[in-house]
């Protein structure tokens, strides 16, 4: 009951006319920012700090939070339509979203993404409201050893993400891990794979790789197949409506991924990208039709979209209850709050309840705005696909290049983009799956850093990974998820001769 | 086209020149900027350098201190090295400034930048923050000396920080340990990617202590907090939420550490241009707008003019080299 009263109090703040305007402006700007690669939520929020400087802290945070979850909401659009993720958190959405668009179901994919985002976002706001103060403790219970084990569990998804050849999937994953550790090693200060270039000292931005391997490689592939020619425009949008059976198909994945995504978001350092991958690979394993994932399965769109929006809201837990940022984006939000004279932390609930509850209430409103704003726009945005192929391909090219250049203003990064485009093309031609590479890229660096950190703390004692209960259970689940499919396959092999 | 260009140039130049001649009469300055000043943050938006660039540009603009615009530009990469290499090529350009702090000394010492502070023109040191040593509230250590005694007994006792070995947090704690009579290399420094991550690790009991910026930590301390501070690297007690935190020197450890921030310019900037900027920043520090921003960000004024700042940088380099060589982290 108490949280209900608090929420009413929060709505009192969020429903002030100016604050409604801020929510609307925030989610609208966020949607646009999310669709365009390059200008991610981090830079957008940093650029907004001067605007929010003179605002009431609650209004400022309402506005900036809106931009953040709006961007994650909108990021799926370019993933689905162009295979070019607008923000890192929506890469997994393109695995099934883009194949759906190619099959003339772009409208449906976008609609599913919007519904799943809305539900993921809303479910996690309920969690945020009810259990945020308790969850602070959960967030800090994850130390280096626990993170290592979580990343190991995440990496076991390579098995399910590499369809035909496990060996090729593993090669791709290792390549991804190698790319992830490029730059100055945090533990020793040693340069790794930098080839003496100052441009590589900070490593390679995730979006450069993702845009190259997915979007640019797709352009190259179509050109290579001669598809750039005079192919007639196709009516590619399709219906937005979901049938009853489709709704019942995607409901359980959305529910599971919302919860999973929220808890991933709560952990500092994990966030929307990892959340969406975990959601995707969990559903792929649970689904009976798991082999159709990656070929346009609606569950493959619903799961990562619910998870990344839930994770985005979850990442507010460490920020608001502990005053520590769990991600780059929440670090900028923390900076903005400090400038506005609010220090988030354990005392925030008592000192600034207006900020805490005002933002939570505004998120409910913002998510409704996003749904209402996005659904009618889908047919308009999806018209992009009606363009003649040559124009569409040029558009994707421009999109990738502007996106990458806009992030760093570096010609070097454009060359990297080209390189990854060629790598992606090569992988595709020789039957290497690209998803494991992206997974290795996301998880590799955190896994390695956490492992060495844990060993440094334990004085080189490897048993630290089993001594900590959370870490031990994560490792056990990882081992089971590797062994169970093998055992299952063994069983079916034993049975099938008998059956036939 | 060719005929038009000089005309355009003339008109572009004429207005600022007229403004400049007025300014000369009023303030007897030998040089004023003739176009927008590029003010570079050698990192992505959101970090310490970026905040300094955007805050100072805003205050200068709002208080009407300069006739020309200060354009904030982000050049990320290599912990600053990419921007430094770019600026180093722009010798003598009086319209190019950048925000700086200890990495301008530490990154070259580690061997990952060819350009160090001597390649650029010091303009002014503006502000400083200090390091702070934190432990959990239920920690057995009540002061720094107890912590260091425990470290001597148990070399595995871990101290987390928010940056790589050989960078600010590590130098700060290693220098402190060696002033307290330990060997600098004995500190089991565990680097996290950011002060926030180090802090959650402390709260969760994964490391025993954390070294971080005092400004960043002040919001975490106080009643009801899970962590407390053992000492701060300032020469005297700080104010606000940190008023109860003893300095290192109060605990008989003769050591201070400044996380200073300042402004430098392109190589070989003329003395007149340097004088203009020195004066501009000195004026800015006196404004109400600055005072308000500074208080909200937890910064402490620490102005030094170009010459003092240059000497200070040389002294810092000597001090850091010593700690780094004790740690075996001195690059080539």
Cβ pair B165:A141 closer than 8 A: no
Interface test with A, best of B59, B191, B226 (most A CBs within 10 A): B191
Looking at the structure, do residues B189 and B268 belong to the same domain, yes or no? no
Confirm whether the ipTM is greater than 0.95. Answer: no
- What are the chain B neighbours of A408 within 8 Å (beta carbons)? 76-77
Question: Is A237 within 8 Å of A286 (Cβ atoms)?
Answer: no
Q: Name residue A192's beta-bridge partners.
A: A183
- Nearby residues of A129 by Cβ (< 8 Å), 6 or more positions away: A3, A6, A7, A360
Cβ pair B205:A201 closer than 8 A: no
Partner A, chain B 66-95, Cβ-Cβ below 8 Å:
75-79, 81-82, 85
Average pLDDT, consecutive stretches of 10 residues, N- to C-terminus, chain A (500 residues):
82 92 93 79 78 84 92 88 85 92 89 94 91 78 90 86 85 94 83 85 86 90 72 61 89 94 85 89 87 90 95 89 79 80 76 88 94 87 80 86 81 94 94 90 89 92 93 92 79 65
Residue A482, classified by CB atoms within 10 Å of its CB into exposed (0-12), middle (13-18) or buried (19+), is middle
Structure tokens at B111: 């061997």
Of A374, A354, A350, the closest CA to residue A115 belongs to A374
Q: Which residue, chain included where needed, has tokens 């992830």?
A: A180
- The tens digit of pLDDT for each residue in B260-315 reads 999 999 999 999 999 999 999 999 999 998 998 888 777 889 999 999 999 999 99
Of B102, B130, B127, B147, the closest CA to residue B245 belongs to B130
User: Chain A: nearest CA to B211, how far in angstroms?
Assistant: 15
Q: Assign residue B271 a region: left if phi > 0, alpha if psi is -120 to 50, beta otherwise?
A: alpha
Looking at the structure, do residues B299 and B320 belong to the same domain, yes or no? yes
The last residue of one of the domains, among B225, B257, B289, is: B257
Q: Which residue, chain included where needed, has tokens 């702090």?
A: B101
Q: Rounded to whole angstroms, what are the CA distances from A84 to A163, A393, A466, B121, B152? A: 22, 12, 40, 43, 54
User: Chain B: nearest CA to A302, how far in angstroms?
Assistant: 31
Provide the CB-side half-sphere exposure for B79 (13 A, CA): 29
Q: How far does chain A reach from its first CA to its final CA, in angstroms?
A: 61
Q: Is residue B320 part of a domain?
A: yes
Cβ pair A344:B219 closer than 8 A: yes
Q: Is residue B8 part of a domain?
A: no
Of B17, B30, B19, the closest CA to residue B270 belongs to B30
Nearest CA in chain B to A146: B206
- In angstroms, the CA A4 to CA A357 distance is 11
Q: Rounded to whole angstroms, what are the CA distances from B168 to A16, A239, B173? A: 45, 57, 9
- The tens digit of pLDDT for each residue in B88-147 reads 988 999 999 999 999 999 989 888 788 999 999 999 999 998 999 999 999 999 999 999
- What are the chain B neighbours of A343 within 8 Å (beta carbons)? 218-220
Cβ pair A332:B188 closer than 8 A: no
pLDDT of A234 reads 55
Looking at the structure, do residues B139 and B215 belong to the same domain, yes or no? yes
User: Chain B: nearest CA to A15, how far in angstroms?
Assistant: 28
Angle at A373 between CA A371 and CA A376, to 5 degrees: 95
pLDDT of A423 reads 96
For residue B209, pLDDT beyond 90: yes
- In angstroms, the CA A491 to CA A296 distance is 29
Q: Assign residue B78 a region: left if phi > 0, alpha if psi is -120 to 50, beta otherwise?
A: left
- In angstroms, the CA A250 to CA A362 distance is 27
- Nearby residues of B32 by Cβ (< 8 Å), 6 or more positions away: B16, B19, B20, B23, B24, B67, B68, B276
Domain that holds residue A383: 2-499
Q: Which residue, chain included where needed, has tokens 């809305």?
A: A118
C-alpha B136, offset from chain centre: 27
- In angstroms, the CA B229 to CA A357 distance is 30
Task: Provide the residue count of chain B.
Answer: 332
- Nearby residues of A474 by Cβ (< 8 Å), 6 or more positions away: A146, A149, A150, A152, A153
In b/e form, how buried is each residue of A423-458, taking b as 16+ CB within 10 angstroms?
bbbebbeeebbbbbbbbbbbbbbbbbbbbbbbbbbb
- What are the chain B neighbours of A346 within 8 Å (beta carbons)? 224-226
- In angstroms, the CA A128 to CA A117 distance is 16
- In angstroms, the CA A378 to CA B26 distance is 60
User: Chain A: nearest CA to B7, how far in angstroms?
Assistant: 31
pLDDT of B50 reads 85
Domain that holds residue B143: 130-257
CATH code for the domain of B237: 3.40.190.10
Cβ pair B196:A410 closer than 8 A: no
Average pLDDT value for chain B:
85
Partner A, chain B 7-26, Cβ-Cβ below 8 Å:
none
Of B54, B26, B23, the closest CA to residue B40 belongs to B54
**φ, ψ for residue B124, nearest 5 deg:** -165, 145
Cβ pair B197:A268 closer than 8 A: yes
Task: Provide the residue count of chain A.
Answer: 500
Question: Is B49 within 8 Å of B43 (Cβ atoms)?
Answer: yes
pLDDT of A1 reads 59
Give CA torsion, residues A346, A352, A356, A357, to 10 deg: 130
Give CA torsion, residues B321, B324, B326, B331, to 10 deg: -90
User: How many domains is chain B partitioned into structurally?
Assistant: 2
Angle at A138 between CA A132 and CA A144, to 5 degrees: 140
Angle at B213 between CA B298 and CA A442, to 5 degrees: 115
pLDDT of B282 reads 94
Looking at the structure, do residues B74 and B86 belong to the same domain, yes or no? yes
Q: Is residue B121 part of a domain?
A: yes
Question: Is B291 within 8 Å of B59 (Cβ atoms)?
Answer: no
CATH code for the domain of B310: 3.40.190.150
Cβ pair A268:B45 closer than 8 A: no
Looking at the structure, do residues B227 and B188 belong to the same domain, yes or no? yes
C-alpha A496, offset from chain centre: 40
- In angstroms, the CA A258 to CA A446 distance is 23
pLDDT of A235 reads 53
The last residue of one of the domains, among B238, B257, B276, is: B257
Looking at the structure, do residues B177 and B215 belong to the same domain, yes or no? yes
Residue A209, classified by CB atoms within 10 Å of its CB into exposed (0-12), middle (13-18) or buried (19+), is buried
- What are the chain A neighbours of B204 within 8 Å (beta carbons)? 139-143
pLDDT of A38 reads 64
- What are the chain A neighbours of B54 within 8 Å (beta carbons)? 49-50
Per-position DSSP letters for A417-464, written without gaps between them: HHHHHHHHHHHHHTT--SHHHHHHHHHHHHHHHHHHHHHHHHTS-TTH
**φ, ψ for residue A229, nearest 5 deg:** -75, -130
Looking at the structure, do residues B187 and B45 belong to the same domain, yes or no? no
Cβ pair A324:B193 closer than 8 A: no
- In angstroms, the CA A362 to CA A3 distance is 15
Q: Assign residue B262 a region: left if phi > 0, alpha if psi is -120 to 50, beta otherwise?
A: beta
Of A384, A321, A331, A394, the closest CA to residue A355 belongs to A321
Q: Is residue B12 part of a domain?
A: no
Share of chain B above pLDDT 70, in %: 90
- In angstroms, the CA A259 to CA A110 distance is 22
Looking at the structure, do residues B267 and B309 belong to the same domain, yes or no? yes
The last residue of one of the domains, among B226, B257, B288, is: B257
Structure tokens at A382: 């999806």
Q: Compute how many other C-beta atoms are within 10 angstroms of the C-beta atom of residue B230.
A: 22
Continuous H helices in chain B: 4-27, 48-62, 81-88, 103-110, 144-153, 168-179, 195-203, 214-218, 271-285, 288-297, 306-327
Interface test with A, best of B58, B163, B166, B219 (most A CBs within 10 A): B219
Of A426, A422, A424, A402, the closest CA to residue A413 belongs to A402
Nearest CB among A46, A198, A344 relative to B78 is that of A198
Per-position DSSP letters for A358-410, written without gaps between them: HHHHHHHHHHHHHHHHHHHHHHHHHGGGGS-HHHHHHHHHHHHHHHHHHHH--
Nearest CB among B45, B54, B112 relative to A201 is that of B112
For β-strands B300-304 and B121-136, DSSP reports them as antiparallel
User: How many domains is chain A partitioned into structurally?
Assistant: 1
Structure tokens at A329: 């984006």
Number of H helices, E strands in chain A: 23, 2
């Amino acid at each position: 009951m108490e949280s209900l009263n608090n929420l009413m109090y929060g709505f009192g703040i969020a429903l002030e006319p100016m604050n409604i305007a801020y929510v609307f402006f925030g989610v609208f700007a966020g949607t646009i920012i999310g669709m365009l690669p390059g200008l991610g939520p981090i830079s957008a929020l940093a650029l907004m700090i001067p605007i929010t400087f003179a605002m009431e802290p609650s209004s400022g945070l309402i506005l900036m939070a809106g931009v953040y979850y709006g961007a994650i909401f909108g990021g799926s659009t370019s993933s689905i339509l162009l295979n070019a993720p607008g923000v890192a958190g929506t890469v997994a959405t393109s695995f099934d979203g883009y194949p759906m668009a190619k099959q003339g179901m772009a409208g449906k994919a976008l609609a599913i993404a919007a519904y799943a985002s809305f539900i993921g976002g809303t479910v996690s706001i309920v969690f945020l409201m009810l259990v945020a103060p308790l969850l602070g403790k959960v967030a800090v219970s994850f130390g280096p050893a626990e993170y290592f084990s979580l990343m190991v569990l995440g990496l076991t998804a390579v098995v399910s993400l590499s369809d035909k050849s496990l060996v090729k999937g593993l090669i791709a994953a290792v390549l991804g891990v190698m790319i992830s550790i490029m730059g100055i090693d945090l533990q020793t200060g040693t340069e790794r794979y930098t080839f003496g270039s100052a441009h590589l000292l900070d490593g390679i931005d995730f979006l450069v790789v993702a845009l190259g391997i997915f979007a640019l490689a797709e352009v190259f592939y179509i050109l290579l197949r001669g598809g750039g020619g005079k192919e007639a425009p196709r009516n590619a949008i399709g219906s937005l409506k979901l049938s009853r059976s489709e709704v019942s198909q995607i409901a359980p994945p959305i529910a599971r991924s919302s919860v999973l995504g929220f808890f991933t978001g709560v952990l500092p350092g994990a966030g929307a990208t990892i959340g969406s991958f975990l959601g995707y690979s969990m559903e792929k394993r649970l689904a009976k039709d798991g082999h159709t994932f990656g070929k346009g399965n609606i569950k493959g769109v619903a799961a990562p979209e619910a998870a990344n929006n839930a994770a985005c809201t979850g990442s507010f837990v460490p920020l608001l209850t502990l005053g520590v940022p769990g991600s780059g984006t929440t670090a900028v939000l923390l900076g903005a709050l400090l400038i506005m004279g609010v220090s988030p932390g354990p005392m925030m609930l008592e000192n600034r309840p207006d900020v805490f509850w005002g933002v939570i209430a505004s998120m409910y409103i913002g998510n409704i705005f996003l749904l209402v704003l996005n659904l009618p726009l889908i047919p308009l945005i999806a018209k992009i696909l009606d363009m003649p192929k040559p124009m569409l391909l040029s558009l994707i090219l421009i999109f990738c290049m502007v996106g990458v250049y806009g992030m760093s203003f570096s010609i070097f990064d454009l060359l990297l983009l080209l390189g990854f485009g060629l790598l992606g093309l090569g992988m595709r031609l020789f039957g290497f799956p690209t998803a494991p590479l992206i997974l290795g890229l996301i998880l590799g660096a955190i896994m390695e850093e956490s492992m060495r950190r844990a060993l440094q703390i334990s004085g080189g004692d490897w048993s630290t990974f089993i001594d900590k209960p959370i870490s031990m259970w994560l490792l056990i689940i990882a081992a089971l998820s590797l062994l169970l499919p093998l055992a299952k396959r063994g069983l079916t092999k034993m049975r099938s001769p008998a059956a036939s | 086209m060719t005929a038009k260009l000089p005309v355009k140039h003339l008109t572009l130049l004429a207005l600022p020149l007229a403004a400049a001649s007025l300014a000369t009469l009023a303030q007897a300055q030998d040089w004023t900027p003739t176009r927008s000043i590029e003010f570079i943050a050698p990192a992505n938006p959101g970090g310490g350098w970026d905040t300094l660039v955007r805050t100072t540009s805003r205050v200068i603009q709002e208080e009407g201190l300069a006739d020309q615009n200060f354009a904030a530009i982000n050049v990320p990469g290599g912990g600053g090295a990419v921007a430094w290499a770019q600026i180093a090529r722009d010798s003598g350009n009086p319209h190019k400034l950048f925000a700086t702090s200890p990495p301008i000394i530490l990154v070259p010492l580690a061997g990952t930048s060819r350009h160090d502070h001597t390649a650029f023109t010091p303009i002014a040191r503006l502000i400083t923050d200090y390091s702070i040593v934190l432990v959990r509230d239920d920690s057995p250590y009540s002061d720094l000396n107890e912590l260091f005694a425990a470290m001597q007994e148990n070399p595995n006792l871990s101290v987390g920080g928010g940056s790589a070995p050989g960078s600010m947090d590590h130098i700060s704690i290693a220098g402190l340990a060696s002033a307290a009579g330990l060997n600098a290399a004995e500190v089991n420094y565990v680097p996290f990617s950011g002060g926030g991550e180090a802090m959650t690790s402390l709260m969760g009991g994964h490391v025993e202590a954390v070294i971080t910026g005092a400004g960043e930590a002040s919001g975490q301390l106080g009643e009801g907090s899970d962590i407390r501070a053992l000492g701060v690297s300032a020469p005297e007690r700080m104010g606000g939420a940190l008023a109860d935190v003893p300095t290192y020197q109060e605990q008989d450890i003769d050591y201070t550490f400044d996380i200073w921030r300042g402004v430098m310019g392109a190589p070989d900037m003329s003395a007149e241009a340097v004088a203009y900027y020195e004066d501009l920043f000195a004026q800015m520090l006196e404004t109400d707008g600055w005072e308000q921003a500074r208080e909200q960000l937890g910064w402490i004024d620490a102005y030094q003019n170009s010459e003092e700042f240059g000497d200070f940088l040389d002294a810092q380099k000597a001090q850091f080299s010593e700690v780094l060589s004790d740690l075996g982290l001195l690059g080539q």
